[in-house]
Amino acid sequence: MEHEIDQIIDRHGAKPTALMAILQDVQQAHGYLSEDALRRIAYRVGIEVPQIYGVATYYRSLRLKPPGRHSIVACMGTACHVRNSPRVLDALKQELGVEPGETTSDGLFSLDSVNCLGACALGPVVVVDGRYYARMTPLKARRLVQEYRQRVGKEAQK
């Protein structure tokens, strides 16, 4: 793992200005930022561990815990809000049994909310594994989760 992290650091250069890019790429590769990863990056970039912890916890796109197999993100922008996104999020919370920022106990889904994805004309928007779903309703949101659950179930049977 350390080797992989070093490769990412070398690609961006071991300098503080590349910190965000390094953190993002390491997260992309591992799904999250582990303590070991943060320590290694801090050492290579030449900053203190508390400083990197500060940066990693400041930005909401960085996560310090492993994500679920599927990532569900609900947009909470203003345009989505006036078209009922809070109820869409409620439906997702209820269907998954977790709060935003958490992962389901079976490790299948992580739920997050985001303050605006910039797809405002099509709100409310929900993104699953990078795929955008437009004009969501609470009912459609529940069905979306059920669909993914079934898909996972089928994959397991194979």
Q: Name the residues that contact other proteins, by CB under 8 A.
A: 15-21, 23-24, 45, 47, 54-55, 58-62, 76-79, 81-83, 87, 90-91, 94-95, 114-123, 125, 130, 132-134, 137-139, 142
Of 83, 81, 66, 76, which Cα lies nearest the Cα of 27?
Answer: 66
As a dihedral over the C-alpha atoms of residue 82, residue 85, residue 90, residue 96, rounded to 10 degrees, the angle is: 180
Least CB distance from residue 127 to other proteins, whole Å? 9
* Nearest residue (CB) to other proteins, 121 versus 156: 121
* Nearest residue (CB) to other proteins, 63 versus 70: 63
Least CB distance from residue 156 to other proteins, whole Å? 26
Token code pair at residue 123: 């709100």
* Nearest residue (CB) to other proteins, 66 versus 101: 101
Name the E strands within the chain. Answer: 70-75, 109-114, 126-128, 131-133
Beginning with the edge strand found earlier in the chain, give each strand of the sheet holding 109-114 in spatial order. Answer: 109-114, 70-75, 126-128, 131-133
Least CB distance from residue 157 to other proteins, whole Å? 27
* Nearest residue (CB) to other proteins, 103 versus 126: 126
